[in-house]
Amino acid sequence: MKYVFISITVIAIFIASVVLYKRRQMERRKYYDAADRMVKEEYLEDVLGNNSAESYYPVIVPMLYINLYKPKPQQKYVFDPEKGVTIGRSKSENTIWLPKPTISMKHCSICVCEGRVYIQDEYSVNGTCVKKGRKKYQLMDGNRIELESGDRFYIDDVAFKVTIFYFQAMKRCR
């Protein structure tokens, strides 16, 4: 009887791990597809705007997948951090809009500097909290910190999880 219980437990753990693996694969496929659409749209807009397709070359760029998971419902975004991402209360000035009075008009930004992705507090009143593993960092007064895949950051009671992935894009020759 004891061995039957152990066998059932092992099977249940195996099934749960397979389901979780498949779920992560599906989510990953979604953000790669979104990045692919973004890159193609940008390339086509540029080529149709009288630029020659021959003046482009392929390059690997970092892309950003942000999962806003608290409060529910989840919202998920894919961005090219080289273009900059801003988060704040002002709908017209920010890429991600959070309509809460405790969040500054332009609260924080995410950008690329020398191939690395950073989050920077934009002199917000309450700051931005970044959690890297077990360590927490409070950003205030324009401070910034490098983001890595799996990091989480918090603005007030809104929680974000960051995934950085690399994608082939087309860059224009200068």
Contacts of 19 (CB under 8 A, 6+ apart): none
Tokens of 66: 């942000």
Q: State how far the alpha carbon of 72 is from the alpha carbons of 42, 69, 136, in Å.
A: 31, 6, 23
Residue 38 lies in a domain: no
Tokens of 85: 């991402």
* Gyration radius of the chain over CA positions: 20
Residue 109 lies in a domain: yes
Helix (H, G, I), strand (E, B) or coil at 96: strand
Residue 136 lies in a domain: yes
Residue 57 lies in a domain: yes
Domain range for 110:
47-172
Helix (H, G, I), strand (E, B) or coil at 113: strand
Residue 105 lies in a domain: yes
Tokens of 64: 């950003």
CA 96 to the chain's CA centroid: 11
Residue 108 lies in a domain: yes
* Full pLDDT tens readout for the chain, 174 residues: 667 777 888 888 888 888 888 888 888 888 888 888 887 887 777 777 766 656 777 888 889 999 998 887 788 999 988 889 999 999 999 999 999 999 999 999 999 988 899 999 999 999 999 999 999 999 999 999 999 999 999 999 999 999 999 888 777 776
The CATH code of the domain that includes 117 is 2.60.200.20
Q: What is the pTM of this model?
A: 0.77
Quote the number of domains for the chain. Answer: 1
